Structure 1
């Protein structure tokens, strides 16, 4: 189908804004600060307001530093299941604040504690440090179940775009290192092959919010060429996908990353795992967040919540 009509004005504004982006003469931190102001506005205007939750930040130690994880706890008695969420942003953008409403909504709709991870950002912190940050966060969550009010036997992980890359890589790392056990993984508009070798068959089909040049620049800032075929960088290229948690993979029709997400689902099934793959017609990269203006974005998020409820129910 054509791109959703509600998105057409947004796509025009994105094309116009590309000419005003900060240039490469600025430092990464300076450019990030400028772009984050636009992301602040987007988060405040296109996402449904957050429902009431208890929000708590925790400072945790990681390899060579410290990061913050933010918990969102809905009303009601625990212990509750827990979903660890990793935000997107090309590995170099994004804050916990940008996903507050989304995480709070997921916590309420799923009736679980959501823990959002502020992994360290590239290019200051390149592969594999952000993967290790996410892995450490999951282990910290499992080790602090009483503090968080969670049931450590009911854990899942997920993320969107580069966050889905980190979530998939973390699931692989957890499998390889023997836990903690995950019941599910949710990969939304995931980037899973950093070599960009595969054919993006949909590249000429319609408007793309994320362009090939933008993706290449993000990968360049995050991961050295010689590391891009490693499983924790490119989960799609992992030789062994056995023993991974059931996956929900959500792709957008007009997204450069659509085909690799769907290919990953097929490979997970071939490896004997479970993978539900859903392509959202008319959507573009990132439009799943736009729950204040798109009914189908609300349906997308409800699908995620339903998948997680079913996964947690099976273990409860």
Structure 2
């Protein structure tokens, strides 16, 4: 699955296909919005994973961002590292609340100021509008002196799935150069040039059905306009130059995910810039500021709270694995590499 050097334009959908996509995506959005509203009702959501407060900015006044301040933090403490989170959902679904568990854990476990950003969703807002919307919000955050004190030399952007793609693309913009020290991308889409059939074929032969198989083209239609160059690095970060990304980049893929192979290709490409020696295994390695980890035996978005398994023991094992994944990524960005921890 080579990285093509030829630009590929987004094809147009037929009239009937476009109508079908619009109806289907509209139904899925209605369903997921309803779920999110129910989970946000008082007494329904988990009170232990609520944000410290929420906030909007004049640049995007209709969007509300969730701020998680570490419970141990108090006024006058040293400035905190800042992590900006971008939720997943195929560029069209969900709200920042979907990441409340992760954001709460990250803030309290690692003493980090976490801001979960709401961004403009497709299909009403197609590429590149969400990217520049996120840029405006991040710029406002970095200039916001009313927030708990944070260290501007320790700013990281991360996300899940579509949010991970945004985390890999927004920092490429000139306005953020030198302002973001790291990226954490959990199971990101990295190459829209590769056809869905080819990405599916890159999965292990023993992998079961992929949750994205019937959704990938739908999300692609919702986010990308006809005629768009799919090889634009702001859309497909596998085409980005190493110098356009922050010093540290951590990419996590899931073995049975159709997006995994292209994510690994991106990690290898970025790691090839430099003279550092690769340390680790095929499934988990670090080189030249790049960290790659493949979650063996896992599918796309296995850690989302919407797919909790039945049974206390299975839930406990999943929770342990998701937190191990989160911790490994966090250590790469914020602390010196600890080989005994990262490569268990």
- The bucket for the TM-score relative to the shorter chain is 0.7 to 0.9
RMSD across aligned C-alpha pairs, in angstroms? 2.9
Of the three residues 256, 261, 264, the one matched with 2:263 is: 261
Work out whether 1:232 is the aligned partner of 2:234.
yes
Which whole-Å CA distance do the structure 2 matches of 1:182 and 1:205 have between them? 39
Q: How does 1:41-120 map to 2 (within 5 A)?
A: 51=48, 55-62=52-59, 66-75=62-71, 76=73, 77-120=77-120
Deviation at 1:135, TM superposition (A): 1.4
Deviation per CA, 1:32-81: give whole Å up to 9, x if none. Answer: 1213445678999xxx9675675221112337x64222211012134211
Q: How does 1:1-316 map to 2 (within 5 A)?
A: 26=23, 28-38=25-35, 51=48, 55-62=52-59, 66-75=62-71, 76=73, 77-173=77-173, 176-177=174-175, 179=177, 181-197=179-195, 199-200=198-199, 201-202=202-203, 204-227=205-228, 228-238=230-240, 240-245=241-246, 246-272=248-274, 273-289=288-304, 292-293=315-316, 294=318, 295-310=320-335
Instruction: Report the TM-score, using the length of structure 1 for normalisation.
Output: 0.79
Give the paired residue count: 283
Contact 2:84 2:114 in 1 (8 A): yes
Contact 2:242 2:270 in 1 (8 A): yes
Which whole-Å CA distance do the structure 1 matches of 2:108 and 2:205 have between them? 39
Which whole-Å CA distance do the structure 2 matches of 1:103 and 1:158 have between them? 11
Unaligned runs of 5+ in 1: 1-22, 312-316
Deviation at 1:178, TM superposition (A): 5.1
Secondary structure in 1 aligned to 2:292?
strand
Secondary structure in 2 aligned to 1:266?
helix
Secondary structure in 1 aligned to 2:331?
helix
Contact 1:51 1:105 in 2 (8 A): no
Secondary structure in 1 aligned to 2:52?
strand
Which whole-Å CA distance do the structure 2 matches of 1:78 and 1:52 have between them? 24
Deviation at 1:141, TM superposition (A): 1.5
Which whole-Å CA distance do the structure 2 matches of 1:204 and 1:225 have between them? 33
Instruction: Report the TM-score, using the length of structure 2 for normalisation.
Output: 0.73
Deviation at 1:300, TM superposition (A): 1.2
Which structure features the higher share of helix residues?
1
Contact 1:242 1:268 in 2 (8 A): no
The match for 1:16 is none
